[in-house]
Amino acid sequence: MMKDLQQFPRIPLGVYPTPFYKLEAVSRKEGVNLWIKRDDLCGVALGGNKVRKLEYLLADAKARGCDVVFTAGGAQSNHAMLTAACAARLGMRAVLVLKKRGVSGHLGNLVLDDIFGAQVHFVDTDSYDDVYAETARMASELEAQGHKCYEIPVGGSTPLGSLGYAQCVREMAEQSAAAGVRLDHIVSATGSGGTTAGLLLGSALYLNGTPVLGVGVDNDPFEEIVPYLARDAAALIGAEPNLGPFSMRYHFGSGYAVPNPEDTPAILDLARSEGILLDPVYTGKAYAGMLRLLHEGFFGGAENIVFVHTGGAAALFAMDLG
């Protein structure tokens, strides 16, 4: 029996629905209707996609009686920062275990982590194995003192967290219907996979399998990870949907979290034509990658494409565009 996603335990944290509208200037220039879903405007900190995931993840943490939330990431992790913001609101302590590589000073998200009162712990490593080992060590210390810890893996990309993006598609289904458009393609950045997985599930549930494209900003095998996460997320709500078409294309330049100078013109163009900020780690790469694919004919005869803006602006205050 399929449970309704609406009945699934969730703590409201963001201001939803986020805006959905057509990018008029870009659409004229590109000769296609390009729509945007503004999850960068979700009302927590500087916005971003992790809030929808955290609505489910922190509901689970609360239900289990946890008072401390651990998560992991790079030094400039948007996910860690938003976990700090959301945990603080719920009266929970956030411990952020971050990879030391790439720390270039107390900038960007690290400033916000402090404002939200998180405990930031750096591990001098490049490997998440070390980060998770340190997390386990710190969590067992806190448990010995009587705390109850909840561990959220990098990016919050578990099946539970992915439900947040099925919820996002549910909103877009209503918003696109109200605007009288049929969406032909959904595009987002793929960093740890949960967002794209949720979009794929949501598309099957609410948009008759509108094709989903993930633009990879890291080089993990998302072709496998994303459908696997989508099916496990579906199982949580007792659904067995036929997932619609899904493709991955990669556009990370010289590597994850390294700004790609080739993308700068697209970032500046969107800022100057629509007043929208993209970031150099995720959305700038995904947006520039999407435009490149559009020019190559990837979207065929698609008339309406929606780009899901997943946030990330704090990185603009931590690194140069390149």
Single residue of 5, 13, 45, 49 touching ligand PLP by CB under 6 A = 49
Contact call for residue 191 and ligand PLP (CB under 6 A): yes
Contact call for residue 216 and ligand PLP (CB under 6 A): no
What is the closest distance, in whole angstroms, from the C-beta atom of residue 200 to ligand PLP in the complex? 12
Contact call for residue 193 and ligand PLP (CB under 6 A): yes
What is the closest distance, in whole angstroms, from the C-beta atom of residue 98 to ligand PLP in the complex? 14
**Which residue lies nearer to ligand PLP by CB, 38 or 148?**
38
| Whether 73 contacts 112, CB under 8 Å | no
**What pairs with residue 250 in β-bridges?**
216
192 among known catalytic residues: no
What is the closest distance, in whole angstroms, from the C-beta atom of residue 219 to ligand PLP in the complex? 13
Binding mask 51-80 for ligand PLP (x = CB under 6 A): ---------------------------xx-
Q: Considering only CA atoms, which of 248, 250, 202, 207 is closest in space to residue 225?
A: 248
What is the closest distance, in whole angstroms, from the C-beta atom of residue 169 to ligand PLP in the complex? 14
| Angstrom distances, CA of residue 284 to CA of 16, 45, 52 | 23, 19, 21
Contact call for residue 163 and ligand PLP (CB under 6 A): no
Q: Which of 27, 77, 176, 192 is catalytic?
A: 77
Any long-range contacts for 272-277 (C-beta under 8 Å, 24+ apart)?
A: 273/23, 273/25, 273/26, 273/29, 274/23, 274/25, 274/26, 276/23, 276/36, 276/38, 276/40, 276/309, 277/40, 277/313, 277/316
Q: Which stretch binds ligand PLP (CB under 6 A): 8-16, 58-66, 121-129, 192-200?
A: 192-200
| Whether 161 contacts 53, CB under 8 Å | yes
Q: Considering only CA atoms, which of 280, 202, 291 is closest in space to residue 241?
A: 202
Closest residue to ligand PLP in the complex (CB): 312
Residue with tokens 């989508």: 230
Q: Which stretch binds ligand PLP (CB under 6 A): 99-107, 141-149, 293-301, 304-312?
A: 304-312
| Angstrom distances, CA of residue 113 to CA of 96, 238, 291 | 9, 36, 33
What is the closest distance, in whole angstroms, from the C-beta atom of residue 67 to ligand PLP in the complex? 25
List of residues contacting ligand PLP (CB under 6 A): 48-49, 78-79, 155, 157, 189-196, 279, 282-283, 310-312
Positions marked active-site: 77
